[in-house]
Amino acid sequence: MKIVIAYSGGLDTSVAIRYLKEKYNAEIIAYTSNIGQKIESPEILEERAKKAGAKKFYYDDLREKFVKDYIIPTLKAGALYQDKYPLATSLSRPLIAEGVIKVAKKEKADAVSHGCTGKGNDQVRFELTFKYLAPEIKVIAPLREWEFKSREEEIEYAKEKGIPISTTKTKPYSIDENLWGISIECGILENPWQEPPEDAYQITTSPERTPEKPEYIEIGFEKGVFISLNNKEMDQIKIIEKITEIGAKHGIGRIDMIEDRLVGIKSREIYEAPAAVILHTAHNELEKLVFSRDLYEFKKLVSIRYSQIVYFGQWFSHLKECLDRFVEETQKYVTGHVRVKLYKGNCIVVGRKSPYSLYKEELATYTEKDIFDHKASKGFIDIFGLTSKLEGEREK
Ligand code: ARG
């Protein structure tokens, strides 16, 4: 039997390699991808995977694909789960699962595997993608099968079997990281009344210690895609990295929320996503300038549904494809610039412009430049207010 496993290099997946090898008497192939997390060199990862029991090791740099095929469509869709979460972890799962399936097909493997627990969202995201891309392949989820009850028991097992693990001292949090943001859970954060201690945050400066002076940045968009920062054109990975750095310095992108997992559990989640927060804010503002009211309000409904699709692991689905086509069409005029002021944890839009703007100063103004026909409003109100009048008469 041949099994390909999504391997992060951490404790769970290291132990999983050995567990799968022994339980299924299988040949294990470890697959790791770079999606913008802090990551060790492929050589070190390979050595570690092999010491854990893997026969082969594959490594992919998926950052470009992540940005182009996952992050940009989600930003265009304006998708924030439960109004806040920019979906960094959610988006990475189908991407990684795609990579696993590619290797599984090449290696003619019998099964694929992941290191997700049985009470989270990630197992769903991995497995729905596996099902969609390779319905014939078997899925094994060791963390749902094995008997370990704590990290300590896993560490004990790893030591017994000579499996190298990166940190012996247990971290107080569970952290998942990629280019689009960081998700932080567990430990003291499980008490929703408890303010997150400073050490929970990995990259952002606390607003108490950010610069006393605001910083302004200007983001350029073309058809919904961010293409420049401070009027310098750059590739999207670079823009995300730069905005992450600047935003983190000003304490932007901290999200503390209670969210509903797909399996029904409410959980307290901390996120750090400076680039996602700033880019969503700017992108939305540009849409306000160029969209009609009808389009703006209708697209909000699509944003909500889109965020659920991503969160629920239905990335590969006909519904998402259909929504993508709609969203793409909406982005036709989302071209222009947004100026954002960053100050003490706040991301404030202070300017916006677009060649396709529907804003007309002569219509909005209260000066003599005004071209709006005030007299026409009487007839408009009489007709728009007809129902109000009828209802009012009835109430009497
Ligand atoms: N709750 C988030 C999600 O479902 C993040 C999960 C991240 N996992 C972690 N180990 N912190 O997408």
Reported as a single tens digit per residue, the pLDDT across 91-140 is 999 999 999 999 999 999 999 999 999 999 999 999 999 999 999 999 99
Confidence of residue 364 (pLDDT cuts 50, 70, 90): very high
Evaluate if residue 253 carries a pLDDT over 80. yes
> What is the mean predicted confidence (pLDDT) over 258-277?
97
Encoding tokens for residue 136?
Answer: 């014939």
User: Relative to the CA of 87, which ligand 1 atom is closest?
Assistant: 12
- Do the first three CATH levels of 2-172 and 176-353 match, i.e. the same topology? no
Where does ligand 1 bind, in terms of residues with CB under 6 Å? 89-90, 121, 174-176, 183-185, 269
CB 112 within 8 A of CB 139: yes
Ligand 1 closest atom vs CA 121? 4
The alpha carbons of the chain give a radius of gyration, in whole angstroms, of 25
Q: Tokens 């290696």 sit at which residue?
A: 107
Domain locations in the chain as residue ranges: 2-172, 176-353
| Cβ-contact 6, 12 below 8 angstroms | no
Bridge partners (DSSP) of residue 61 are: 34
- The two beta strands, 27-34 and 2-6, are parallel
Amino acid identity, position 227:
I
Catalytic residue from among 110, 151, 174, 357? 174
Pocket test for ligand 1, best of 265, 269, 272, 307 (most atoms within 8 A of CB): 269
Beta bridge partners of 59: 32
pLDDT per position as a tens digit, 153-186 = 999 999 999 998 876 455 789 999 999 999 999 9
Pairing state between β 215-222 and 225-229: antiparallel
Contact, 359 vs 289, CB < 8 A? Answer: yes
Mutate to test the pocket of ligand 1, among 183, 258, 260, 267 (most ligand atoms within 8 A of CB): 183
Rounded percentage of the chain residues whose pLDDT exceeds 70: 99
Q: Which atom of ligand 1 is nearest to the CA of 90?
A: 12
260 C-alpha to ligand 1 centroid (Å): 11
pLDDT in tens, 59-78: 999 999 999 999 999 999 99
Closest ligand 1 atom to Cα of 122: 4
Q: List, in order, residues 6 or more apart from 362 with CB less than 8 Å away.
A: 369, 370, 371, 372
| 37, 185, 310, best to mutate for ligand 1 pocket (most atoms within 8 Å of CB) | 185
How far, in Å, is the centroid of ligand 1 from the Cα of 183?
Answer: 6
218-249 pLDDT, tens digit each = 999 999 999 999 999 999 999 999 999 999 99
Alpha helices in the chain (DSSP H): 11-23, 42-52, 63-65, 72-77, 88-107, 122-133, 142-145, 151-161, 236-249, 274-290, 293-311, 318-330, 361-364, 376-384, 386-395
- Secondary element (H or E) of residue 3: strand 2-6
Domain 176-353 in CATH 2.170.150.70? The answer is: no
Residue 122 known to be catalytic: yes
What percentage of residues in the chain have a pLDDT greater than 90? 96
Looking only at the bridges linking them, the beta strands covering 181-185 and 111-113 are unpaired
The pLDDT of residue 168 is 47
Cα(277)–Cα(206) distance, integer angstroms: 16
pTM exceeds 0.85: yes
| pLDDT at site 150 | 87
When pLDDT is averaged across residues 310-324 and rounded to a whole number, the result is 98
pLDDT one-digit tens code per residue, 321-356: 999 999 999 999 999 999 999 999 999 999 999 999
44 Cα to the center of ligand 1, angstroms: 26
Is residue 235 annotated as part of the catalytic site, yes or no?
A: no
Give the mutation target among 70, 91, 122, 265 for probing the ligand 1 site: most ligand atoms within 8 A of CB: 122
**DSSP secondary structure of 208-274:** GGS-SS-EEEEEEEETTEEEEETTEE--HHHHHHHHHHHHHHTT--EEEEEEE-TTS-EEEEEEE-H
In the chain, the N- to C-terminal Cα span, in Å, equals 80
CA 182–ligand 1 middle distance (angstroms) = 9
Tens-digit pLDDT profile for residues 26-49: 999 999 999 999 999 999 999 999
Q: Residue 294 catalytic?
A: no
Catalytic (active site) residue 12: yes
By DSSP bridging, strand 254-260 and strand 266-272 are: antiparallel
* CATH architecture, domain 2-172: 3-Layer(aba) Sandwich (3.40)
Atom of ligand 1 nearest to the CA of 81: 12
Indicate the residue type of 36. G
149 vs 388, higher pLDDT = 388
Q: Note the pLDDT of residue 169.
A: 54
Residue 280 has pLDDT above 50, yes or no: yes
Q: Report the pLDDT value the prediction gives residue 30, as an integer from 0 to 100.
A: 98
Set 63, 93, 125, 254: catalytic member: 93
* Ligand 1 centroid, distance to 89 Cα (angstroms): 6
Q: How many angstroms does the Cα of residue 295 sit away from the middle of ligand 1?
A: 32
How far does residue 261's CA lie from ligand 1's centre (Å)?
9
Q: Check residue 170 and give its pLDDT.
A: 58
Q: What is the C-alpha separation between 77 and 217, in angstroms, rounded?
A: 23
**What number does the ligand 1 atom closest to the CA of 175 have?**
11
The pLDDT mean for the chain works out to 96
Q: Which of the 8 DSSP states describes residue 177?
A: E
d(CA 281, CA 346): 11
